[in-house]
Amino acid sequence: MARETRIWLKGTGRDNPLIIGIHTGGLWVARRLHRELGITSPVGELNIAFYRDDFSRIGMHPRVAPSHLPLAVDDRHLVLVDDVLQTGRTVRAAMNEIFDWGRPASICLTVLIERGGRELPVQADVVGRRLDLHPDEHVKLTGPEPLALEIKKSE
């Protein structure tokens, strides 16, 4: 995944990217990717709780650490990292939040796991692994050390 991200960034001519992970699983993956790519600028943390589209259905989400983007995103190339891409709603919320921090030059979406079930027109640029899962199977990343995948069937 790190190799493919590197190739992808090189192919598109995007230097010196900022890595941004979505809480919580995406951030673990982002930290690992950041290490593998040897990027010096710190990892950004995104908590999309205030941008979710299900607030009127389930209310406030349990506490998670606040968003923290250590550097200005204006005119920067971003690598947005999440653990699992399924419906696409998280990525929609994340992009909305990023634009409230500034106007990036570009965003590349990198996910560890891509699975079916898209509800929005969102696709990843770099995918660690594609999983063919039944709709009632859930994939969950556990971590931060070691990172492991858990697949569960809902009852």
Partner 1 sequence: MTAQDTQLDQYGRLKHFLTIEGLSRDLLLEILDHAESFAGVGERAVKKVPLLRGKTIVNLFFEPSTRTRTTFELAAKRLSADVLNLNSTTSSTSKGESLQDMLHTLQAMYCDMFIIRHGNSGAAHFIASRVSPDVRVINAGDGRHSHPTQAVLDMFTIRRHKPDFPRLRVAIVGDVAHSRVARSEIHALRALGVPDIRVVGPKTLIPAGIESMGVTVYNELESGIRDADVIVMLRLQRERMRSALLPGAKEYFNCFGLTNARLRVAREDVIVMHPGPINRGVEIDSEVADGARSVILQQVSHGISVRMAIMAMIMGSLAPGREAG
Site residues (CB under 8 A) for partner 1?
47, 49-51, 55-60, 63-68, 96-97, 99-102
Residues 25-56: b if buried by 16+ CB within 10 A, e if exposed: bbbbbbbbbbeeeeeeeebbbbbbbebbeeee
Q: 153: helix, coil or strand?
A: strand
Tokens 């947005």 identify what position? 80
Alpha-helical regions (H) of 38-104: 55-58, 89-101
Question: Least CB distance from residue 55 to partner 1, whole Å?
Answer: 6
**Smaller CB separation from partner 1, 7 or 64:** 64
Question: Least CB distance from residue 51 to partner 1, whole Å?
Answer: 6
Spatial distance between the Cα atoms of 17 and 73, rounded to a whole number of angstroms: 10
**Smaller CB separation from partner 1, 47 or 90:** 47
Question: Least CB distance from residue 70 to partner 1, whole Å?
Answer: 11
Question: Least CB distance from residue 101 to partner 1, whole Å?
Answer: 5
Question: Least CB distance from residue 18 to partner 1, whole Å?
Answer: 15
User: What is residue 68's DSSP assignment?
Assistant: B
Spatial distance between the Cα atoms of 7 and 151, rounded to a whole number of angstroms: 29
